[in-house]
Amino acid sequence: MAISLRKARTIIRKALDKGREMELKPLTVVVLDAGGHVQACEREDGAAPGRFAIAQGKAYGAVMLGMAGTAQMARAEQQAYFMTAVNGVYGGQVVPVPGGVLVRDKKGAVIGAVGVTGDTSDNDAAAAMAGIEAAALTAEI
């Protein structure tokens, strides 16, 4: 199974709605497929130009390692050189903090990841989770 474009649009719109509801700063949301490739993304007006790469990096590490942002951050805090090395083999594309959220289907298989950036990492993760759940998928933050 994969995240269809239709589902990806729902994820993005509902994540942005959640951001407005929580009165967060402008958000950027990226949806990656199960291979770490971009399916869809939107950057809100007022978000800084480099935010796409941060959102992508949060989602990329999640899907490539099969480990969500919260777990990546814990590992980075315990064993910083490990996450540095992981970034070496992945070309520096991993941003190991909350806001990189795994997306699972009903059987528990990882079918992609969502990356959100713009506010605090925890708020970013909350927005991502709202989007994923609105698409009837399971989020692992």
3 state DSSP class of 100: strand
Q: CA dist 131 to 91, 126, 137, Å?
A: 28, 9, 9
Considering only CA atoms, which of 61, 65, 55 is closest in space to residue 31?
Answer: 55
Q: Return d(Cα 40, Cα 12) in angstroms, integer.
A: 8
Site string for a second copy, 22-51 (x = CB under 8 A): -----------xxxxxxxxxxxxxxxxxxx
Q: Smallest gap, in angstroms, from Cβ of residue 61 to a second copy?
A: 8
Q: Contacting a second copy (CB under 8 A), which of 53, 104, 134, 138?
A: 53
- Backbone phi and psi for residue 108, each to the nearest 5 degrees, phi listed first: 95, 0
Assess 120 for contact with a second copy (CB under 8 A): no
Site string for a second copy, 75-104 (x = CB under 8 A): -xx-xxxxxxxxxxxxxxxxxxx-------
Please give the residue ranges that form the binding site for a second copy (CB under 8 A).
2, 4-5, 8-9, 33-54, 56-57, 63-67, 76-77, 79-97, 109-110
